[in-house]
Amino acid sequence: GESVGLHLPTLSVQEGDNSIINCAYSNSASDYFIWYKQESGKGPQFIIDIRSNMDKRQGQRVTVLLNKTVKHLSLQIAATQPGDSAVYFCAENGSGNTGKLIFGQGTTLQVKP
Amino acid sequence: NAGVTQTPKFQVLKTGQSMTLQCAQDMNHEYMSWYRQDPGMGLRLIHYSVGAGITDQGEVPNGYNVSRSTTEDFPLRLLSAAPSQTSVYFCASSEYRGRTEAFFGQGTRLTVV
């Protein structure tokens, strides 16, 4: 069935280092992917998205890479800061134009000062 | 700009009670959805709507009803609450189905005892 999974449940990095959070998706028909950040007690917050006709997209301190061959998505955060500590979710839109988003289970990013 | 507003933020119900979780958005988005989030898990889709008068089931619809009488509002009803419905509920909206970011509310933390 459709699923989106993350390789590691927790990632611990030193402040100032770069972080890489990975995501594997299973539905090759998905053509839209989003990364969300969720801080404790809050709703998910949009970070960056990418469409399947791209393999890389950059935002402010964040980069998303899409490898459709192996159905892999990654989020890179440059110069990680304490404020980046949160749970990160990837999501895909699955097959069909229904508007549904399928979420992975999340990776907790811990930034050590 | 309020975005997506959910009420209440916290609720405790007894088994068998009914209640409605409210969700309103002021962005004129056509697509709205409800998710539940359980500890250590990603978000699972309960119900969604692609416009006023149109709703459909998501991944975990049992025990929940929805309606969409206006573009702005998308309430979620629990007709007879069960302990298994203890969760954090998030409402989201997006401009266009499956292609643009979904904006999330702050969540409703529901406990059924």
Structure tokens at A49: 């998205």
- Residues in chain B closer than 8 A to A97 (CB atoms): 97-98
**Which B residues in the span 46-85 are in contact with A, Cβ-Cβ below 8 Å?**
48, 50, 56, 58
Is the predicted pLDDT of residue A31 greater than 70, yes or no? yes
Q: Residue B83 carries which side chain, given as an amino acid letter?
A: P
Q: What was the pLDDT predicted at A33?
A: 93
Q: Residue A72 carries which side chain, given as an amino acid letter?
A: H
Angle value at C-alpha A61, between A55 and A64, nearest 5 degrees: 20
Average pLDDT over residues A14-27: 93
Is the predicted pLDDT of residue A6 greater than 50, yes or no? no
Is the predicted pLDDT of residue B17 greater than 90, yes or no? yes
Q: What was the pLDDT predicted at A4?
A: 57
How far apart (Å, rounded) are the C-alpha atoms in residues A69 and B12?
47
Task: Report which of residues A94 and B3 the model is more confident about.
Answer: B3
Give residue-wise pLDDT tens across range B34-66: 999 998 778 999 999 999 999 999 989 999 999
